Amino acid sequence: MQTRKTIATLMFAWCWAQAGAATVQWFDGQGMQTAWVNDATGAVALEQGGLERALANTVSIVTQPGRATAVAQTLESLGFVVKPSPIPDKLYVLLQASSVLGATQRMTRVQGIQAVQLQWARHVAMPKVTP
């Protein structure tokens, strides 16, 4: 009985420790990775307890050499909005920030992807303009 109580207590403590961050699997082009999503803010950390940041509305796709057009067509057939890049073998997929991680899971069967790169949302300081 005491052992069961101890186990239950430990499990409860472990669950308590995990509260506030949900883990989500995402595809980085090579395999599935784990991300930690802050329940309250939606910010994402790529390591447990690591720096939390806001995701942007876009992911970058690095394709195998010469495969950008084919990859774009496949992604578009899956319903993604794809934009070209001036950089060879690179594409952009436009998403909603809240659905980025889950959306990458749908890319696992797309041939020709070398990397799926998350983008982080930032703001810049604009210059002073005095009235």
- C-alpha distances in Å from residue 58, one per residue of 2, 12, 75, 103: 52, 37, 14, 11
Per the CB < 8 A criterion, the answer to whether 41 and 51 are in contact is no
Of 48, 56, 51, 57, nearest to 22 (Cα)? 48
Minimal distance, residue 32 CB to other proteins, in Å: 20
Minimal distance, residue 58 CB to other proteins, in Å: 6
Question: Which of the stretches 8-16, 18-26, 64-72, 116-124 binds other proteins when contact is defined by CB under 8 A?
Answer: 116-124
Query: What gap in Å lies between CA 99 and CA 94, rounded to an integer?
Result: 11
Report the site for other proteins in 24-63 (rule: CB under 8 A). 56-58, 60
Report the site for other proteins in 7-26 (rule: CB under 8 A). none
Which residues would be at the binding site for other proteins (CB under 8 A)? 56-58, 60, 83-88, 90, 92, 94, 117, 119-131
